[in-house]
Amino acid sequence: MPRKKRARVEKPPLHVVSLSGGKDSTAMLLLMVEQSMPIDMVVTADTGMEFPEMYRHWDQVEQYLLRKRGLKLTILRHPEGFERMMFDHPVNRAEEWQHVTPYGYGWPGIKKGRWCTGQLKTHLINKAVSQLRKTHKIFHYVGIAADEPERIKGEHYPLCDWGITEAQALQICYDRGFDWGGLYEIYHRCSCWCCPFQRIDELRKLRRHHPQLWAKLLDMDDRALAQFGHNALGRFKDHWTVAELEERFSAEDREISLFDSDKKKGADVMNVLVVEPGMAPYEKEINGLEEMQAVVGGPISALYPFKETTVLVVNDEGINLGLEFNRSIEGGYGGVFGTFFVCGLNEDKFCSLTPEQMEHYKQKYLKAEVLIALNGNKPFTFKVDPRPRIPPDTPKHPPKKPGR
């Protein structure tokens, strides 16, 4: 007897929208609703470390979804959450980490991996979607903007299909009254406030605009250092603990008040010592903030490594911008990347170096340094003779004499 063919049962479709809560996924969801596209489920993963404004945003989105489609948000949460994973989760450590407690992943980092993104976000969403695939034909929509095509990986990306960029996505949300309580006016990114992958500038803003979260970050940092030590698990960033950042930002605050008093009194011309990577130091007259920024090539930051009343003024983002290594600096600062200058400090403002100080720092930074390796923020270097410096108004290639 011929065998009967089993009828193939089509799985019913299920349209699932991933909502991180950021501008791209929110804009995608709003437009999908407006364009009457099918939506059966909107899922989001809560790491527990979102900004309070983000939780309010999710509430606002849910109210909107309830009104428009009668849908609630499906919020996925790992049973342990960020802090328990970071400090208490049992971990099988590699051999070189056997000396460290077997509990807690420590701070996420480039070398250690983003365990948090994997376990608290993508794994939860992928697991939920895979589960649904058993019974449904899944259409999974992900909010990636048209200017990030490298992130596309085989789901549905309506923003890319519509050619909507990140800037347009934000405007779409603003136009419809979704403004995250101003979060995007302050920060470039609005995911976990405790993320070690944030730029230094974002952390500076966190300290200024969310002091309670900053205080909590300091506590987490203390606990991580005490539990794991000054290593890749315990240090917030490769080159910074949160406490070191606190010191840096406080020093910057003092510096801003120096600039303020400078403005009140009228900026004086200062005689400073400029130190460029690879070059011998030289004297220069500087007048005011703009000239200081021009010397270091960007926003300035002050370091106070010396006991005497002198300051190193450096490019705030030197290492992140990939500027050339310049000189090693004592006092736990490690090294400076990019050009810096040394000036004096009197009670209420930056000032000229005295002739003795000028001579002292000329000798100190006479030799250039070549960076061999960095261990944390500790540079290993060897000293070399400085390259000859071409004065700025000397043409590098003198014009050729006209031939006969």
Told to check if 171 binds ligand SF4 by CB under 6 A, we report no
Bridge partners (DSSP) listed for residue 103: 90
- As measured in angstroms, the least distance from the Cβ of 35 to ligand SF4 is 30
Q: How many CA atoms lie within 13 A of 305 on its CB side?
A: 17
108 or 334: CB nearest ligand SF4:
108
What tokens were used for 362? 């000329």
- As measured in angstroms, the least distance from the Cβ of 195 to ligand SF4 is 3
The DSSP H or E segment spanning 69 is: helix 52-69
Distance CA 181, CA 178 (A): 8
Out of 114, 133, 216, 223, point to the residue binding ligand SF4 (CB under 6 A).
114
- As measured in angstroms, the least distance from the Cβ of 72 to ligand SF4 is 23
Distance CA 303, CA 313 (A): 6
20 or 301: CB nearest ligand SF4:
20
Distance CA 26, CA 56 (A): 13
From first CA to last CA, the distance across the chain in angstroms is 105
Distance CA 303, CA 293 (A): 15
Distance CA 227, CA 248 (A): 24
| Residues 341/348, Cβ–Cβ less than 8 Å | no
Q: How many CA atoms lie within 13 A of 259 on its CB side?
A: 16
Only segment of 73-81, 110-118, 320-328, 384-392 that touches ligand SF4 (CB under 6 A)? 110-118
Phi, psi of 119 (to 5 degrees): -80, -35
| Residues 86/194, Cβ–Cβ less than 8 Å | no
Angle formed at CA 72 by CA 70 and CA 74, multiple of 5 degrees = 150
Told to check if 18 binds ligand SF4 by CB under 6 A, we report no
Out of 195, 292, 302, 368, point to the residue binding ligand SF4 (CB under 6 A).
195
Told to check if 191 binds ligand SF4 by CB under 6 A, we report yes
Told to check if 86 binds ligand SF4 by CB under 6 A, we report no
- As measured in angstroms, the least distance from the Cβ of 178 to ligand SF4 is 20
105 or 340: CB nearest ligand SF4:
105
Give the start-end residues of each E strand in 183-324.
Answer: 269-275, 282-287, 300-303, 310-315
129 or 220: CB nearest ligand SF4:
220
217 or 314: CB nearest ligand SF4:
217
What tokens were used for 81? 């959450």
Told to check if 108 binds ligand SF4 by CB under 6 A, we report yes
- As measured in angstroms, the least distance from the Cβ of 256 to ligand SF4 is 28
| Residues 310/344, Cβ–Cβ less than 8 Å | yes
What tokens were used for 116? 């948090």
Rg (CA), the chain: 28
- As measured in angstroms, the least distance from the Cβ of 342 to ligand SF4 is 37
Told to check if 328 binds ligand SF4 by CB under 6 A, we report no
The DSSP H or E segment spanning 335 is: strand 334-337
Only segment of 4-12, 86-94, 111-119, 316-324 that touches ligand SF4 (CB under 6 A)? 111-119
- As measured in angstroms, the least distance from the Cβ of 213 to ligand SF4 is 13
Told to check if 121 binds ligand SF4 by CB under 6 A, we report yes
Distance CA 354, CA 360 (A): 10
Give residues 196-225 in contact with ligand SF4 (rule: CB under 6 A): 197
- As measured in angstroms, the least distance from the Cβ of 115 to ligand SF4 is 8
22 or 334: CB nearest ligand SF4:
22
Told to check if 242 binds ligand SF4 by CB under 6 A, we report no
- Residues contacting ligand SF4: total by CB under 6 A: 11
Told to check if 117 binds ligand SF4 by CB under 6 A, we report yes
193 or 361: CB nearest ligand SF4:
193
Give residues 35-54 in contact with ligand SF4 (rule: CB under 6 A): 47
116 or 124: CB nearest ligand SF4:
116
- As measured in angstroms, the least distance from the Cβ of 82 to ligand SF4 is 7
Distance CA 13, CA 38 (A): 10
Which chain residues interact with ligand SF4 by CB under 6 A? 47, 108, 114, 116-117, 120-121, 191-192, 195, 197
